Structure 1
Amino acid sequence: MSTYVIEIPYSHLYPGLVLDAPADTDDFLVQFGDDSESRAQLLRDDTGRPVLRMGGYMTARGTVIDERVWSVHEAVRHGDRLRLRLGRSLP
């Protein structure tokens, strides 16, 4: 099984950020702009809406980011890619 990698130019996620994810998997690696990385899983909440679970990681500057679940404001498929616009992180 190959590992899918999404690259973003920032060291963290934030509401409104668009991730260009592979459409054929719900498990992938996020490579941040500071070369830190975290495992991500696209899941569904109790109502069937998509959410993104990001594993905890440490930024290059040493900031510890705990595991979080993010709401997905929008998910649009474009061929073999899925564009995910993040909403807020959930409690």
Structure 2
Amino acid sequence: MSEHVIEVPYSHLHPGLILDAPADTDDFLVLFGDDSESRAKLLRDDTGRPVLRLGGYMTARGTVIDERVWTVREAARHGNRVHLRLGHSLP
């Protein structure tokens, strides 16, 4: 696995999912379990809390997923990776 890639075993993100993200960048590729992919960027909201912006993509079954911003409930660094526990997506 490349350092700037997050692998997700599902075709969608969901609350509670823990992402194993690169710690040395805020911009990375998300590879989903159905072979679809999207770009993601770790940002900060107005209060300084981390949020994840996931670009729009199409699943292997043809479902179009619009760009979404996800809250991050927890972020814990582990060496050159950071584990991000997702909260809910923002409207």
TM-score (ref. length: structure 1)? 0.96
The letter of the residue matching 2:63 is T
Residues 70, 86 of structure 1: 8 Å contact kept:
yes
**Structure 1 unmatched runs, 5+:** none
Instruction: Tell me by how many angstroms 1:75 deviates.
Output: 0.3
- The structure 1 segments of at least 4 consecutive aligned residues displaced by more than 4 Å after TM superposition are none
> What is the aligned-residue identity percentage?
83
RMSD: 1.2
Instruction: Tell me by how many angstroms 1:5 deviates.
Output: 1.1
TM-score (ref. length: structure 2)? 0.96
Q: State how many pairs are aligned.
A: 90
String of CA shifts for 1:10-59, please: whole Å, max 9, x gaps.
Answer: 00000000000000000000000000000000000000000000000000
- Residue in 2 that maps onto 1:22: 22
**Structure 2 unmatched runs, 5+:** none
- Residue in 2 that maps onto 1:59: 59
- Residue in 2 that maps onto 1:41: 41
Residues 21, 81 of structure 1: 8 Å contact kept:
yes
Residues 3, 29 of structure 1: 8 Å contact kept:
no
Instruction: Tell me by how many angstroms 1:3 deviates.
Output: 7.2
- Residue in 1 that maps onto 2:69: 69
Once residues 59 and 81 of structure 1 are traced to their aligned partners in structure 2, the CA distance between those partners, rounded to angstroms, is 26
The letter of the residue matching 1:50 is P
Residues 31, 37 of structure 1: 8 Å contact kept:
yes
SS in structure 2 of the partner of residue 77 of structure 1: strand
